[in-house]
Amino acid sequence: MSNSKASAIALTISCLIVAAFAASFYDEMDITFGGERAKILNRGQDLSLSLDQYSGSGFQSKNEYLFGRFDMQLKLVPGNSAGTVTTFYLSSQGAGHDEIDFEFLGNSSGNPYTIHTNVYAQGKGDKEQQFHLWFDPTAAFHTYTIVWNAQRIIFLIDNIPVRVFNNHEAAGVSFPKSQPMRVYASLWNADDWATQGGRVKTDWTNAPFTASYRKFSANANIVGPNSKPTSSVNENQAWSTQGLDAAGRNRIRWVQTKHMIYNYCSDYMRFPNGLPVECSRSRFR
């Protein structure tokens, strides 16, 4: 192979990797609602979302992805955040959509945030797990990660696994694996349900509420009519087969024993005719 041809191939691969890892919010994201409440700052390195009594705000990725690892650093609304919901999630579109959720449910001052996770496949969710954190998510930035491959979905916080949702299609459980998804984030008012089932309402005297985002990265397969798939570049990336080793299983057991506050797989009142099929399968492998 000639040096010029090798250089051209190297440049092409480099461009594809940059497309997957580009850090600038100007390059990666579009503001979707909220007008000036959503602000890209620091030459594209930071993004803030605000909520007031008139509107929340949000953004979405320019690209669609089919599998990958998605990292975002967030610093959540401080103080009395009751009634507010801050999000970072993946979703496709349409009635039978797929979705992988991190939602951060605010609370009154001094009480912990609730980290709400869920997985939708072909329009059906109802697979919630919720956690209280072992740190104050409003005091500093922390990294929230979604790993999505054909075998499983892993939710991580500061690289600590907190939840795994495995592919149990063989048992008749739908799994999101064929619909490309975009990355979304938003800050909005949900005081009809977000805090203590809606009993604690948003105190608008504290508005505007602001959450901060930074250091987004997507090591992922980009798909769509305007983007060439990057599977040839990323197919050997660790996320494509990522699971949990022994240390990871120990960490997730610690999180779920000490910090989980709700698990749909333990809610017998909600499922009087029997828990969902996946609840009887291995949780962590």
Report yes or no: 85 and 74 within 8 Å, Cβ to Cβ: no
Given the residues 103, 169, 235, 278, the one annotated as active site: 103
Coil, strand, or helix at residue 254?
A: helix
Q: Indicate the Cα dihedral angle 251, 253, 77, 158, nearest 10°.
A: 20
203: buried, middle or exposed (CB in 10 Å: 19+, 13-18, 0-12)?
middle
Token readout for 8 is 């051209």
Burial environment of residue 279 by CB neighbours within 10 A (0 to 12, 13 to 18, 19 or more): middle
Nearest CA to 165 out of 174, 154, 176, 149 is that of 154
128 is catalytic: no
Distance CA 5, CA 3 (A): 6
Please pick, among 28, 64, 99, 278, the residue that the annotation labels catalytic: 99
Instruction: Classify the C-alpha dihedral 165-250-136-263 as positive or negative.
Output: positive
Q: Is residue 99 flagged as an active site residue?
A: yes
Sheet with 182-189, edge to edge strand ranges: 29-33, 57-61, 182-189, 84-91, 99-105, 114-120, 129-131, 260-263
Catalytic residues: 99, 103
